[in-house]
Amino acid sequence: MLLELPRWTVEYGASRLLDLAAVALPDRDLGAGRPVLVLPGFSAHDRLTGRLRGHLVQRGWQVHGWELGSNHGLTERIVTGLPQRLAEVADRYDEPVAVVGWSFGGLLARWLAHEHPDRVRQVVCLGSPWRAEGERTRATGMFEKSREKHGIVENAREIVDLLRGPVPVPLTAVWSKTDGIVPWRGCTVDEQAAPPAENVEVVSSHVGMVANPLVLSVVVDRLRQDPAAWEPFAWRNVLPGLPGAAS
């Protein structure tokens, strides 16, 4: 946990340099203008997802922050405002929206997919401990203090129970055994073919999930998938020059 901040500094710097060096990208239109909604982690806000959003914008997606301030959990403001934000983005482009959620934002992304499967194209979770065994993390104390300060909706347990069910749209769970904040086993999903649900392991800090070059490459690769013709993730497709890249 103590290495989270210095690791994030390296991860952020590395991805920033890579993007600066990729001005003449041959894949600048990978996103084809499709909409993406990015949800921050607990106690985080849109500024902290800026590296991820900028990376996706550079590759042709129309990327949006959630515009709900800091993420304080299942508060009335978030439970009411997030579906409205999803609807706003979906209506603007007249098509379903890909939702990328970081940490607790990934749990909210799962919830949106359950509540509005017609408006969600796919979900990508980054270090999101959605399983019951993932409830106790190094951030649990922050959750408890936030609950006392900001409150929580009366149906919070029903929301949690719902989001823990199989997600009705394509789902990718990105997780790291070197995560210094959440237990990685709580972030993995039960893999299935239809709708696709898959795990992708990376080497990343928890805070760096929205800046790590490997994670950003995975997100780009998954967002470019067609839900109707889904191709399973393979590192050889992301890093073709990597000797012995595993699928």
Give mean pLDDT, residues 89-105.
Answer: 98
Question: With bands split at pLDDT 50, 70 and 90, how would you rate the model's confidence at 38?
Answer: very high
* pLDDT (tens digit per residue) in 194-226: 999 999 999 999 989 999 999 999 999 999 999
pLDDT tens digits, 161-179: 999 999 999 999 999 999 9
For residues 5 and 105, what is the distance between their CA atoms, to the nearest angstrom?
20
Beta bridge partners of 80: none
Whether 197 and 190 have beta carbons less than 8 Å apart is answered as yes
* Per-residue model confidence (pLDDT) at position 245: 45
CATH architecture, domain defined by 4-55+70-211: 3-Layer(aba) Sandwich (3.40)
Mean of per-residue pLDDT scores for the chain: 89
Residue 222's pLDDT is what? Answer: 98
**174 phi and psi, to 5 degrees?**
-105, 130
Residue 112 confidence (pLDDT): 98
Task: Please state the domain extents for the chain.
Answer: 4-55+70-211
